Structure 1
Amino acid sequence: MSESVPAPRTSEAIIAAALDAHEAELIDVRRDLHAHPELSWSEHRTTELVAERLEKAGWRVARLAGTGLLADLGEGPRRVALRADLDALPVEDDVPDSWRSTVPGVAHACGHDVHTTAVLGAGLALAELQQTTGLPGAVRLIFQPAEEVMPGGALHLMSLGALDGVDRILGLHCDPGVDVGRVGLRSGALTSAADLLEVQLTGTGGHTSRPHLTGDLVFALAKVTTELPAVLSRRMDPRAGISVVWGRVAAGQAPNVIPRSGSVAGTVRILDSDAWNECEQVVREVVAELVAPYGVVARVNYQRGVPPVVNDEDSYAVLVEAVTAVLGERGIAAAAQSLGGEDFGWYLEQVPGAMIRLGVRTPGGPTYDLHQGDLRVDERALGVGARVLATAAHAALVTVR
């Protein structure tokens, strides 16, 4: 009787087995990153930790000037990229875990420690696949600094050739409103454009008993604060979903003194790319009109931030297949477009791609919010994110779309 020949292992099985083997390591990496967060453009330790582990796994690693790295594996005419962001936020860490931040006033409050670890895990799984069966093309890992500042580190990496030869790019972002074991997917726009806006007013100043003899700067500032969002809703297409929200208003110190200067600062968020391109000019025109009656001078500082993340249909289809293969159909959660900004959108201006929303909430547990110091994640999400990205990267190389 002849011996039976075992069936060849599928790519999904190899990826799953590799990540099972690395599960404890990935949790340790994530906790290490969480305990040692680094702000935008200062991610030196994080970069080196990732670089050393990828080099050990056989990736060709290029450390970039400053911080961040590119890592390549495999050969072929097609190349897919996976992107992670490295930086933390200037937020105090309020989690009670033993791996809480050791850096005062700095925390991974947006989950970039999860993003970095998941893409690293995908890299380790793809390295195992390369050693076992070989990859059907090339994969690039992009570990990007400075996602949390505008206009974001993506533009810097693109200037260094991060997208050279890349046919498709995939990424992920934590979603604390989705249970672990599920992934939010959406074709089309996933996030909004996001810009920074500051309006500075100056005048002659004076006494509050004589507002007719000086520019009433605080009154004018109040008009800008309240009227600019309202006027924009009439001057621009309402379907663009423009939202102006202020985070800081400052003017004066004494109740009976009209100050000589004041300012208001916030964000402008827009769902539509075309409206984003025209918004700055409209904002400048409206501010000038609003302050004209009050004898003050307005200076508008408008900083364009990031475009919307727009998932293309083919990349979305690749991710649907990958999530279904890893988690089954029930693993897919419908993702709504949000007004959050993500500089992943810059990459999608150059090559097709898509981003997933990775569920990090413990089922039945509390729902946390991003950019808050008490953000906690279910660490089972690390393996989920890594498996989905590795599976999708392989699928993108073998499927012509």
Structure 2
Amino acid sequence: MKNQLFEKLTNAYEDMVVIRRHLHMHPELSFKEEKTAQYIVDFYTDLGIEVQANVGGNGVVARVKGGKPGKTVALRADFDALPIQDEKDVPYQSTVPGVMHACGHDGHTATLLQLAKAIHELHENLAGEYVFIHQHAEELAPGGAISMIEDGCLDGVDVIFGTHLWSQTDAGTVEYLAGPIMAASDMFEIKVQGAGGHGANPHQTKDAIVIGAQLVTNLQQIVSRRVDPIESAVLSVGSFVAENAFNVIADTAKLRGTVRTFTPEIRDLMETEIKRVVEGTALTNNCTIDIVYRRGYPAVVNHKDETAYVKKIAEDVVGSELVVETPPHMGGEDFAYYLEKVPGTFFFTGAKPDVPYPHHHPKFDFDENAMLTAAKILGAAALEYQE
């Protein structure tokens, strides 16, 4: 059956490309993916596949039952885009100003749709049930996974597999890791309330820019001096705004940043220490500093047995020399929520194009051949899990 599946997927490759490029030209932002969701629903409806729309929001879930009893395997793809202007000079450039698929979600969706079609065509000779989870809003916390789970997308599921097309590694390669593979992703917003005034009379003010600068420096000491060097953490201040005329001392400053960790203990430590630094800096400067700390996605923690299983599947598909253990990635992913509920694993499928750009870059693209690799690994993992 696996060989038949692979043959169908190979024959469907051009259709994958057509779907991917259509979605790339018509991207939609997180929580606003109505047309994309409808496109997915229509695809399944036309094939006569059982499909449910509006799962936890704009999510879509399709189910294919085999002709024989067996386990229930879920496969997941996300389909939201990002608020980035597409700067690629390609025929399938985004037609929506300021919005583009800059992370490969269009490819994830095309891959899963054609895989579902192939499995449907073989379903009478297959065992078990196959759940195709098309998730909205991966890019924006709280994300779509948690609401889809609450709405029942994992009901009856025994295992879940997912992949991310990765433009930074060579096409044809596969990266896996048991345990934490992607970090928990949190954010913070800080408002420094000083006392503004004339630039010629700083002694009469509480300079919010100077205080904010102290905060940036103090915050950067948390990882180097409070986190065990054996552990990992990232704290980045991404925005520092205190806009004024050149001769005005700032009354307020606003900072925003992100925190990335892999374990609950370090995650708790980072939040506690950030708040302590804020309180201490406010006390030192006799001013008010408010902080809002928001927890985003937890770490993606792959299950050991399922990761070893997919590693072997990938080796059979692409060859053992192209399947490598990856270091953990500091990026976040709400696939984490699925793995908190059922066993499974999340892996990276190499998709580096001729001229690679990072994910979330205005010129991001990927080698479309990687979709076929991803489809074969996910498909083989789903079918052979029944054995």
TM superposition score normalised by structure 1? 0.91
Give the one of 123, 133, 137 matched to 1:130.
123
The DSSP-based 3-state class of the residue aligned with 1:162 is: coil
Structure 1 residue 39, shift from structure 2 partner: 0.4
Partner of 1:102: 95
> Match for 1:240 among 231, 248, 270?
231
**Shift in Å at residue 281 of structure 1?**
2.7
Who is 1:196 aligned against? 187
Alignment partners' CA distance in 2, 1:55 and 1:67: 16
Identify unmatched segments of 5+ residues in structure 2: none
| In structure 1, distance between residues paired with 2:117 and 2:315 | 21
Letter in 2 for 1:163: L
Match in the other structure for 1:348: 339
Over the residues paired in the alignment, what is the CA RMSD in angstroms? 1.7
How much identity, in percent, do the aligned residues show?
Answer: 35
The question of whether the paired residues in 1 share the 8 Å contact of 2:187 and 2:259 is answered with yes
The Cα of 1:280 is off from its aligned counterpart by 2.0
> Any idea what the Cα deviations from partners look like across 1:278-337, whole Å, max 9, x if unmatched?
432332122111221112211111111111111111111221122122222133133221
Q: C-alpha offsets along residues 27-67 of structure 1, whole Å, 9 cap, x if unaligned? A: 10001000100100111221122222223334210001541
TM-score, length-normalised on structure 2? 0.94
Question: Size of the alignment, in residue pairs?
Answer: 384
Q: How do residues 38-117 of structure 1 correspond to structure 2 at under 5 angstroms?
A: 38-64=28-54, 66-74=57-65, 76=69, 78-117=71-110
Deviation, 1:166, is 1.4
Matched, 1:164 2:164: no
Which position in structure 2 is the counterpart of 1:389? Answer: 378
2:114 corresponds to which of 111, 121, 124: 121
Check if 1:308 corresponds to 2:295: no
Matches within 5 A, 1:18-57: 18-57=8-47
Structure-2 separation of matches of 1:383 and 1:42: 28
Residue 332 of structure 1 corresponds to 323
1:185-230 Cα offsets, whole Å, 9 max, x none, are 1222111111111111112322334433332221110011121121
Tell me how far apart the structure 2 counterparts of residues 78 and 212 of structure 1 sit (CA, whole Å).
Answer: 72
Post-superposition offset of 1:232: 4.2
Structure-2 separation of matches of 1:77 and 1:206? 73
1:153-178: CA deviations, max 9, x gaps? Answer: 11111111112211211111121121
Q: Which runs of 5+ in 1 are unaligned?
A: 1-10
Aligned residue among 346, 351, 368 for 1:360: 351
Take 2:386 and 2:268, find their aligned partners in 1: how far apart are those partners? 34
Paired residues of 1:191 and 1:338 also in contact (CA < 8 A): yes
SS in structure 1 of the partner of residue 356 of structure 2: coil
